[in-house]
Amino acid sequence: MHRHLVHYHIRWLGKFNRWKEKHLSDRNFIIALSIVVGFLSGLAAVLLKNMIFYFSEFVINLHDADSENYLYLFLPLAGVTLSYLFIRYVAKDNVSHGVSRVLYAFSRAKGRIKRSRMYSSIVACTVTIGFGGSVGPEAPVVLTGAAIGSNVGRTFNLGFRQLVLLIACGSAGAIAGIFSAPLAGLVFALEVLMIDLTMASLIPILIASTTGAVTAAIFLGRSATFHFDVAADFLLQNLPFYLLLGILAGFVSCWFLFVNEKIGQYFSKIDKPWKRILIGGISLSLLIFIFPPLYGEGFNFLSDIFTGNYSNLFNNTVFYSLQDNYIVFFSFILILTLIKVVATGLTNGAGGVGGVFAPSMFVGAFLGFFMAQLINVVFGLRLPIPNFAMAGMAALMAGVMHAPLTAIFLVAEITGGYNFFIPLMVVSASSYLVSRYFNPHSIYTKSLALKGELLTHNKDTVILSMMSIERLIEHNFLTVNPDDSLRTLVRTISQSSRNIYPVTDQTGHFYGLVFFDDIKTLIFKPELYDQVSVKDLMYMPKTIIYRQETMEEVAKKFQNCKDYNIPVLEGEKYVGFVSRANVFSNYRVKVKEFSND
């Protein structure tokens, strides 16, 4: 059956390609696919939003309002448990850290993303958030959109460059759909995901992002996500306070990244899944029981900040009757700001699936609210609370994701704050600079960077990442044994077309090299043929390439030495040689393939 489907696909693809060559240029074909990918990604965002909403309503309606707080003691635990079981036994795939997995598909998977990820991440995310997991739906839907783009491209046997472009289109369409923010979707794909900005890539991503946003708007309207209209105008005299907020947000972003990393490392050391679920799930449930605003995405609590319904933040908490006490009030808000990231880390560490978009927006809004309200109370000023909460959202996203442009456009679009660009730029830039000073990599890229698997916006790095050392290794070098005589070496030289001779034993252990130019005068001294051995002539090269090294490391070694050929070892065993000319030639071919618009 499977073989029949493969043959059918090949025949169908052949007919389609013949039709396409007559009626569509490659560029128009990519644009057509970007519309399809954007539409499907927008539908995925609509589906995820609706699934989370109705699933959450179903869970909430299972109990009486009076008992709601007590159910927090086991609902999050149930959510991460069910999410883990689905991933382990149904999806059979790891779909956590969605954006990082998209970046990995660029750098190591040649743009290929499993078909199952077109649905598995949004199902696991629905269960996680529906039961109160303290994460957001954005990273799972980005992975879903990217998987849609990858598999649409693979259906038509597209190359790496086109696959990367369609993955970016799917991610942009998903972000645009989940937030109803087409510009933010475009900027996210270019700033966080994309590796080369050309007009050929810009137009399809813009089309996909717009299509995703329109699709979401048709089905969801303005309810696609949290929405607030800016009421107060920006006043220039408040600019120093926005700068202060940006700097504070930069340090809080460092806290966010530090806590997220440490919790991830802690759970990665727990080898028993049930231990991770119990430790993370119970800890998360206790936190949410004490601080209910940590439940789920938290967008409803952000609405309370923007509308001034601060008392709602204290509902179902032991602090409700104490909210008029300034010390309790500000302590409660500050604690929420700092422990949201703990709840997010526990959710993902225990086995849940979700992203950091919503948590970073939550932390940023509460930070802006805390700072502005504290200044108003202490100094008697009248800073606009909603504006500072909105600016805080952008600042935290810029610091955590290292994506200031995405933060600016996203907050501007979902809040209607287009006349608020100056403070958004101030807080985003200052937060990003502080965070970047202490953390060279974002929350998405750090784990990949530590493994040497990060594809960056630097085209040289991109091209080198596309190259494989295995394809560059040359094996036509004749080897000699260290105990061989000069006579045997001369005989080997006469049979070889190369001027370097690796010295190995019978097991392949590498001892060094013999360079023809170093011994050519001895060839004309037959009296030495049986007196001199290879071990007297060999030398150990200063530069050696190991098989597991990346092409970027190989390129640096060629840059730092004058050798034209460098031996390749696996452990201490000789494998072959990589030549400078071969690396350069292959690099030029890849540049031409990648940059051909």
Is 21 a member of any domain? Answer: yes
Q: Is residue 448 over pLDDT 70?
A: no
450 and 488: one domain?
A: no
> Which CATH number does the domain housing residue 305 bear?
1.10.3080.10
Sequence-distant (≥ 6) Cβ neighbours of residue 473 within 8 angstroms: 568, 575, 576, 577, 578
The tens digit of pLDDT for each residue in 93-130 reads 877 776 777 877 766 656 788 888 888 999 999 999 99
In sign, the C-alpha dihedral spanning 225, 229, 232, 236 is positive
Mean pLDDT of 238-267: 95
- Domain total of the chain: 3
What letter represents residue 324's amino acid? D
Least confident of 269-283, 386-400, 446-460, 489-503: 446-460
Q: Are 147 and 376 in contact (CB under 8 A)?
A: no
Least confident of 207-216, 415-424, 469-478: 415-424
210 and 187: one domain?
A: yes
The tens digit of pLDDT for each residue in 532-581 reads 999 999 999 999 999 988 888 888 899 898 889 999 999 999 999 999 98
Q: Are 79 and 297 in contact (CB under 8 A)?
A: no
Q: Are 230 and 313 in contact (CB under 8 A)?
A: no
pLDDT of residue 158: 85
Of the three residues 457, 472, 504, the one that is the final residue of a domain is: 457
* Spatial separation of the C-alpha atoms in residues 63 and 74, rounded to whole Å: 13
pLDDT of residue 377: 94
Q: Is residue 466 over pLDDT 90?
A: no
**116 exposure class (CB count in 10 Å sphere: 0-12, 13-18, 19+):** middle
β-pairing verdict for 545-546 and 510-515 = unpaired
Element (H, E) at 502: strand 500-504
Whether this model's pTM surpasses 0.85: no
Of the three residues 422, 457, 492, the one that is the final residue of a domain is: 457
| Number of CB atoms found within 10 A of residue 327's CB | 8
Q: Are 250 and 399 in contact (CB under 8 A)?
A: yes
Which of 552 and 260 is assigned the larger pLDDT?
Answer: 260
pLDDT of residue 588: 78
29 and 121: one domain?
A: yes
pLDDT of residue 59: 76
The tens digit of pLDDT for each residue in 186-236 reads 999 888 876 555 667 789 999 999 999 999 989 876 554 556 666 677 888
Q: Alpha carbon of 392 to those of 94, 282, 365, 367, 384: distances in Å?
A: 32, 30, 5, 6, 12
Residue percentage of the chain with pLDDT more than 90 = 53
What letter represents residue 10's amino acid? I
Which of 186 and 441 is assigned the larger pLDDT?
Answer: 186
pLDDT of residue 192: 83
pLDDT of residue 489: 92
User: For the stretch 378-401, what's the b/e string if a residue is b when 16 or more beta carbons lie within 10 angstroms of its beta carbon?
Assistant: eeeeebbbbbbbbbbbbbbbbbbb
Is 91 a member of any domain? Answer: yes
Q: Is residue 22 over pLDDT 70?
A: no
Beta pairing partners, 39: none
CA angle 416, 339, 275 (to 5 degrees): 125
163 and 246: one domain?
A: no
375 and 350: one domain?
A: yes
What letter represents residue 235's amino acid? L
Mean pLDDT of 293-297: 90
419 and 474: one domain?
A: no
pLDDT bin (cut points 50, 70, 90) of residue 62 is low
The tens digit of pLDDT for each residue in 385-407 reads 999 999 999 999 999 999 999 99
Mean pLDDT of 340-368: 93
486 and 542: one domain?
A: yes
Is 277 a member of any domain? Answer: no
Q: Alpha carbon of 558 to those of 82, 360, 572: distances in Å?
A: 51, 43, 20
404 and 380: one domain?
A: yes
pLDDT of residue 241: 97
Is 231 a member of any domain? Answer: no
pLDDT of residue 488: 93
Which of 496 and 241 is assigned the larger pLDDT?
Answer: 241
The full DSSP string for 226-277 is: ------SPP-GGGHHHHHHHHHHHHHHHHHHHHHHHHHHHHHHT---HHHHH
Closest CA to 503 of 494, 492, 542, 495: 492
251 and 187: one domain?
A: no
Give 516's DSSP letter: H
Is 416 a member of any domain? Answer: yes
pLDDT bin (cut points 50, 70, 90) of residue 450 is low
334 and 204: one domain?
A: no
Q: Alpha carbon of 460 to those of 404, 552, 589, 594: distances in Å?
A: 24, 9, 13, 11
Is 331 a member of any domain? Answer: yes
Q: At what angle do helices 421-438 and 404-415 cross, to 10 degrees?
A: 150
pLDDT of residue 597: 47
Q: Is residue 308 over pLDDT 90?
A: no
Q: Is residue 429 over pLDDT 90?
A: yes
Average pLDDT, rounded, for the chain: 86
Closest CA to 287 of 359, 325, 335: 335
The whole domain housing 299 covers 236-272+284-457
447 and 483: one domain?
A: no
Of the three residues 403, 422, 457, the one that is the final residue of a domain is: 457
Is 138 a member of any domain? Answer: yes
Q: Is 514 left (phi over 0), alpha (psi -120 to 50) or beta?
A: beta
430 and 531: one domain?
A: no
